[in-house]
């Protein structure tokens, strides 16, 4: 499922510790049991990972994915790997939490603690797991340590890694299938099915812990992530449930979620899915408030979100969503926000983002030369709208993007467009944008923020009724939709390559030139 302003600047510097073998710290797996993770606390801090990939033969940079607290999006940080397989990466980490280390290559899942330095050594020849069903290979793979963590929290990280490796190689772990898989169940049966899978996974963890005792924090982290990953499957399903079924099964549905997450409520923040669960629950609350005349969203919110920290986080995320859509929070909104969000770190980040948006809004030079079209004749059919917006560019290939300031994937995709636009500067190609439900201020701020301007760029902000009419026939399943139109104005495809598939997009455009 991301992305917006980073909480802190990425800090990365060339690796120096591996220049001398003696500088690699000794293994530190203390036998003492550190205190378990406590309630959520923020601080301005970071985590550093220093590593070595043995048998490294080249490839993409080393990457770490974390969840940003202020945006509720996943952020990816990267650093180059030198010819000897050495790398060093420092990234912001204001609170302990789940991180995904170099997924797609090493594919490591672990936890990071603000202020720590993790030392990572991995053998690239031993990373990839065996095929399911190959018993001998699975046994050998589970017994071989392909990755070693060192440093002050070495036992914590190694225990998590070993459990993950053992779990990944086990053939008795039931997984969730596609959307089609979960939609085969009625909501009550779905609750029972997910809860059954959850119990199976928890039993697997308990059996493993009896055989191979885990450090207390490792056990706590693994249990928390298991609980919230299962809860998120439940909350995500709610988007596909009809309103009548929601009302009918609501009590049982939320009781199931509560039974899964309640034991780790105060440390749920350790899991990335924690934020997904909170977001989905708030989405349900908003829908319920709209469908129950006279209901109060705050009282409904308090009914489902019980912990003060969770309420504070939810309010911060809602403000962040408004900002992400290009809206500046006015003074009264900021005052109300400070009253409801008690965490100084979150308020500081929201204030900084708001100040940046104010500066962006005031900088009209960023729109100099931009073609922003907001006035249109009365057009009554989607065909008329299509002809009106494409006719001025007859003789050029058109790459049309249907997006919205509120759409996170739309905005993320825009980050990949600069090299594509530069590729076709001065050529017969135009990049045309149609904004859905995007107020003028937010629309302009987003265009400025993502630098979506240039001689070959045109922006349309159609009246809502006309935009809806056009989307009825031309929108491909959802936002964003990308269309390619040839030089004669003929629609070639409503499934054009997305901006991050740069090579495919360039090839597709070149075929039409």
pLDDT per residue over 166-175, tens digit each?
887 775 555 5
Tell me the C-alpha distance between 281 and 293, whole Å: 19
Which domain range does residue 92 map to?
A: 17-169
**Is the domain of 430 the same as that of 317?**
no
**Is the domain of 411 the same as that of 318?**
no
Q: Write the pLDDT tens digit of every residue in 27-75.
A: 444 455 788 999 999 999 999 999 999 989 989 999 999 998 887 788 9
Is the model's pLDDT at 3 over the cut of 70? no
Q: Residue 356 contacts by C-beta under 8 Å, 6 or more apart in sequence?
A: 5
**Is the domain of 32 the same as that of 164?**
yes
272 lies in some domain: no
Q: Residue 384 contacts by C-beta under 8 Å, 6 or more apart in sequence?
A: none
The number of domains in the chain is: 3
CATH number for the domain spanning 405: value is: 3.40.30.10
- Final residue in a domain of this structure, among 125, 141, 169: 169
**Is the domain of 29 the same as that of 165?**
yes
Q: Which two tokens stand for residue 255?
A: 């009781």
**Is the domain of 23 the same as that of 165?**
yes
**Is the domain of 417 the same as that of 447?**
yes
- Which contacts (CB < 8 Å, 24+ apart) does range 420-427 have? 420/499, 420/502, 420/505, 420/506, 421/454, 421/456, 421/457, 423/506, 424/456, 424/509, 425/454, 425/455, 425/456, 426/455, 427/456, 427/513
448 lies in some domain: yes
317 lies in some domain: yes
129 lies in some domain: yes
**pLDDT for residue 17:** 25
Closest CA to 490 of 404, 361, 391, 373: 391
Q: Which two tokens stand for residue 356?
A: 């940046």
The band of 177, judged by pLDDT with boundaries at 50, 70 and 90, is: low
Asked whether 74 and 67 are in contact (CB, 8 A), the reply is yes
- Final residue in a domain of this structure, among 169, 188, 204: 169
271 lies in some domain: no
**Is the domain of 417 the same as that of 481?**
yes
Q: Write the pLDDT tens digit of every residue in 467-507.
A: 999 999 998 878 999 999 999 999 999 999 999 899 999 99
3-state SS class at 43: coil
3-state SS class at 460: strand
243 lies in some domain: no
Q: In what order do the strands lie in the sheet with 147-150?
A: 86-92, 46-54, 117-123, 147-150
Which secondary-structure segment (H or E) carries 335?
helix 331-340
Give the residue, 312 or 21, on which the prediction is more confident. 312
406 lies in some domain: yes
Average pLDDT over residues 406-426: 88
Percent of the chain with pLDDT over 90: 53
Q: Is the pTM of this model over 0.85?
A: no
Is the model's pLDDT at 16 over the cut of 50? no
**pLDDT for residue 180:** 62
**Is the domain of 349 the same as that of 374?**
no
**Is the domain of 404 the same as that of 476?**
yes
Is the model's pLDDT at 19 over the cut of 60? no
- Final residue in a domain of this structure, among 119, 153, 169: 169
358 lies in some domain: yes
**Is the domain of 446 the same as that of 323?**
no
3-state SS class at 100: strand
**Is the domain of 325 the same as that of 394?**
no
Tell me the C-alpha distance between 62 and 81, whole Å: 6
**Is the domain of 60 the same as that of 143?**
yes
């Amino acid at each position: 499922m991301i992305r917006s302003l980073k909480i802190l600047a990425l800090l990365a510097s060339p690796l120096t510790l591996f220049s001398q073998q003696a500088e690699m710290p000794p293994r530190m797996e203390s036998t003492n049991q550190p205190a378990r993770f406590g309630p959520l606390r923020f601080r301005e801090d970071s985590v550093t990972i220093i590593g070595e990939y043995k048998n490294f033969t080249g490839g993409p940079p080393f990457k770490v994915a974390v969840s940003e607290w202020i945006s509720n999006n996943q952020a990816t940080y990267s650093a180059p790997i030198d010819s000897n397989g050495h790398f060093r990466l420092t990234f912001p980490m204001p609170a302990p939490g789940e991180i995904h280390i170099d997924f797609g290559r090493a594919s490591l899942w672990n936890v990071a603690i603000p202020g720590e330095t993790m030392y990572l050594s991995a053998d690239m020849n031993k990373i990839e797991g065996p095929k399911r069903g190959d018993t001998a290979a699975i046994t050998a793979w589970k017994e071989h340590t392909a990755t070693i963590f060192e440093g002050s929290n070495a036992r914590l990280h190694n225990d998590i890694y070993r459990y993950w490796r053992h779990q990944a190689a086990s053939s008795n772990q039931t997984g969730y299938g596609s959307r089609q898989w979960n939609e085969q169940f009625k909501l009550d049966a779905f609750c029972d099915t997910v809860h059954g899978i959850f119990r199976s996974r928890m039993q697997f963890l308990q059996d493993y812990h009896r055989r191979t005792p885990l450090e207390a924090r490792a056990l706590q982290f693994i249990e928390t992530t298991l609980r919230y990953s299962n809860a998120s499957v439940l909350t995500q399903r709610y988007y596909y449930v009809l309103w009548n079924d929601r009302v009918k099964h609501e009590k049982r549905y939320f009781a199931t979620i509560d039974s899964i997450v309640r034991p780790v409520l105060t440390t749920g923040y350790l899991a990335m899915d924690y934020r997904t669960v909170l977001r989905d629950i708030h989405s349900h609350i908003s829908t319920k408030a709209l469908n129950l005349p006279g209901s109060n969203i705050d009282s409904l919110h308090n009914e489902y979100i019980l912990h003060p920290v969770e309420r504070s986080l939810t309010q911060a995320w809602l403000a962040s969503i408004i900002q992400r859509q290009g809206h500046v929070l006015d003074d009264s909104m900021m005052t109300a926000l400070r009253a409801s969000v008690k965490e100084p770190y979150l308020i500081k980040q929201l204030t900084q983002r708001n100040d940046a948006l104010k500066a962006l809004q005031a900088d009209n030079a960023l729109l100099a030369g931009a073609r922003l079209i907001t006035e249109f004749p009365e057009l009554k059919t989607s065909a008329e709208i299509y002809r009106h917006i494409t006719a001025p560019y007859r003789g050029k290939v058109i790459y049309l993007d249907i997006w919205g300031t509120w759409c996170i994937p739309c905005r993320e995709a825009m980050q990949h467009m600069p090299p594509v636009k530069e590729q076709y500067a001065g050529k017969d190609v135009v990049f045309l944008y149609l904004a859905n439900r995007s107020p003028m201020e937010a629309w302009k701020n987003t265009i400025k923020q993502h630098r979506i301007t240039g001689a070959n760029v045109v922006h349309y902000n159609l009246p809502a009724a006309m935009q809806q009419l056009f989307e009825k026939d031309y929108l491909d399943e959802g936002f964003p939709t990308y269309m390619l139109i040839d030089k004669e104005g003929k629609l070639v495809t409503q499934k054009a390559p997305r901006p991050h598939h740069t090579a495919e997009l360039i090839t597709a455009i070149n075929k039409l030139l």
